[in-house]
Structure 1
Amino acid sequence: MAERIVVGVVDTSAGRRALEWAAHRARSRKASLLLASVVGGAVGAVGEGPVVDAAIAAARSLLEEHAETLKAQGLDVDIVVLRGDPVRQLVSTTAGANLLVIGSDFRPDDADSPRRGAHGLRIVADSSCPVVVIPDIETSDRRGVVVGVDGSPISEAAVAFAAAEADRLGEPLVAVTVWTPVPLPRGARAYPEQYLSSMQELSEETLAVALGGLRSTYPDLEIQPRVERGYPSEVINRAAATASLAVVGSHGRGAVARFLLGSISHEVLAALVAPTAVVR
């Protein structure tokens, strides 16, 4: 069955980058595209009819324009305009989809951006499929797909996604395992060397196991394993700053997922230094 990619279409720079990213993937994987636009705002307000009708017409016109361009390139494209809560409505389109792609204008130092950033986090937490969040950043001179690896089933899915993307792009897979030592006990001046070397060795073993089956699946894929001491999101963000894609795992869907996203995935998305895929 052919892959189906949903794109949340908005008329912003980041939104256009998201559409370009999704179209590139659709071409290389022979996937179909669903272009989705949501007309938000309160539902049922007095006198909303003409305003909502105009907004829906404008959204449909934008989608039709994009769809016509993409169909001329040989892509299979459908469109849908939805009305209601933007997060809930966009998430509803992911049932049966393989991937959701959205743009984000979020900037940590921009006072006007937290709301858009929060929308992105809610979408990632509630989506039925992996989500790729595209920032308004030029990445044409970047290379490499960075993935965080911790040996969990969640990171196994992230590694599989990242390896497939790196192979598709013809770029190296940079697999990063990060270990963080326990806080030093009161009165201790330094960690025992045996403890530090053991943590390093265990992390190297974890990474080797996670990457073990990739050589046979992707014989031409360049794999760059990295084991570093530090805090996971900081190390991943540093590696992703020059990468074309970062990939992290998520703990699932719904309210619990929104809470658990508060760790590594949340911090990587909050920085958003590269296009970032969140996989479950």
Structure 2
Amino acid sequence: MNDTIVVGVTGAPVTRRVVAWASARAAARDQSIELVSVVGGAIGAVGEGDVIDRALTAAQHLLDDEAAEIRRTAPGVKVTTRVDAGNPVAVLIEASAKAALLVIGSDYRGPGSGPARGAHGVRIAAGAHCPVVVVPDIDDLDAPERSGVVVGIDGSEVSEDALRFAAAEADRLGEKLVAVSVWTPLEAPRNGLAVYPDLYLTNMQASTEEVLALALAGLASDYPDLVVERVVARGFPSQVITEYARTARLAVVGTHGRGAIARFLLGSISQEVLSRLVTVTAVVR
């Protein structure tokens, strides 16, 4: 793996936000950027070659414009471009194998904007070899009211990786880290009224607090100036994480490893968070 940020570029309006986010991150961490645009949909029809050639040329012009904007706003960042033809999901997954980070966009504009989006984005995040950052097309991503980096923690090895990523980003941004652990009471057919013994609820809360404390142990030695807010809540993990992420600058969730099946699947929590984005969101494995 090198220190390059691969950025998926399309003609969608969100592309400007995607490139801006990636270039700011590259400038802060002394990374380079590779802009990648993929022309897909070929079926081998007669006369299709000319259409593809024109599309490839248009894609290169798009990348040249975005590269010029990066050189203007972040002159210290090295930027290269690449245009390819094929399946966008497969091309970006392949590109992620040699990347430190893959950044893509989503046309989802937040709650109330219509149905959830991102089938391609979910597949890319599930199959990528590196962390994936998904930037939604939301107008207030840079609003001063937004603060903090939210990370979901469940005590698993995957969530430890997510925590390390989130802590590094919070430290880079000068933001507090909001570490969220969520517990959900056991569901049973005969407990439809959701009546639970107090001892059970108390123990669930206490055990989750312990999981969070263990996960955060030692973090201060790596990031002595990092402010950490601990959140232990009862509910459904994706809903609680999304609620805290609604006013955050970044959300971070973990997901399962890759594989023949995992290539097209995410864990339910990360998939639910990605399906209705409320902020820039990183998926870490």
Q: TM-score range by the shorter chain?
A: over 0.9
Residues 259 and 71 (structure 1), Cα distance of their counterparts in 2 relative to 1, 3 Å cut: closer
Equivalent pair of 1:204/1:227 in contact (CA under 8 Å):
yes
Taking structure 1 as reference, are residues 15 and 269 closer, same or farther at Cα in structure 2, changes over 3 Å only?
Answer: same
Q: How does 1:194-233 map to 2 (within 5 A)?
A: 194-233=199-238
Structure 1 residue identity aligned to 2:177 = L
Q: How far, CA to CA, are the matches of 1:189 and 1:76 in structure 2?
A: 56
1:17 aligns with 2:17: yes
Tell me, yes or no, if the aligned pair for 1:2 and 1:30 is still in contact at 8 Å. no
How high is the TM-score relative to the length of structure 1?
A: 0.93
Counting aligned pairs with the same residue, the percent is 58
Aligned residue number for residue 94 of structure 1: 96
Matches within 5 A, 1:173-188: 173-183=177-187, 186=190
Aligned to 1:44: 44
- What does 1:1-280 align with in structure 2 at a 5 Å threshold? 3-72=3-72, 73-106=75-108, 117-137=118-138, 138-141=140-143, 142-183=146-187, 186=190, 190-257=195-262, 261-280=266-285
State how far apart, in whole Å, the 1-side matches of 2:124 and 2:48 are: 26
TM-score under structure 2 length normalisation:
0.92
Q: Root-mean-square deviation (CA), in Å?
A: 1.9
**Matches of 2:197 and 2:265, distance apart in 1:** 32
The 3 A distance-change label for structure 1 pair 275 and 182 is same
Give the CA deviation at 1:24. Answer: 0.4
Partner-residue secondary structure (3-state), 1:186:
helix
1:149-179 deviations in Å (ceiling 9; x for gaps)? 0000000000000000000000010000000
Q: Is the 8 A contact 1:43 1:84 kept in 2?
A: no
**Structure 2: which amino acid aligns with 1:121?**
V
The amino acid that maps onto 1:196 is: L
What is the alpha-carbon distance in structure 2 between the residues aligned to residue 265 and residue 83 of structure 1?
Answer: 29
In structure 2, do the counterparts of structure 1 residues 154 and 189 end up closer, same or farther at CA, with 3 Å as the change threshold?
A: closer
Contact 1:2 1:31 in 2 (8 A): no
Q: Cα offset for 1:4?
A: 0.9
Q: Partners in 2 of 1:210 and 1:68 — Cα distance?
A: 42
Within 2, Cα distance between the matches of 1:148 and 1:37? 31
User: How many residue pairs end up in the alignment?
Assistant: 278
| Residues 259, 205 of structure 1: alpha-carbon distance in 2 compared, 3 angstrom cutoff | farther
Please give the alpha-carbon distance, in whole angstroms, between the structure 1 residues aligned to 2:170 and 2:271. Answer: 23
Query: Any unmatched runs of 5+ in structure 2?
Result: none
Where structure 1 has 5 or more consecutive residues not aligned to the other structure, the ranges are none
1:13 CA displacement? 2.2
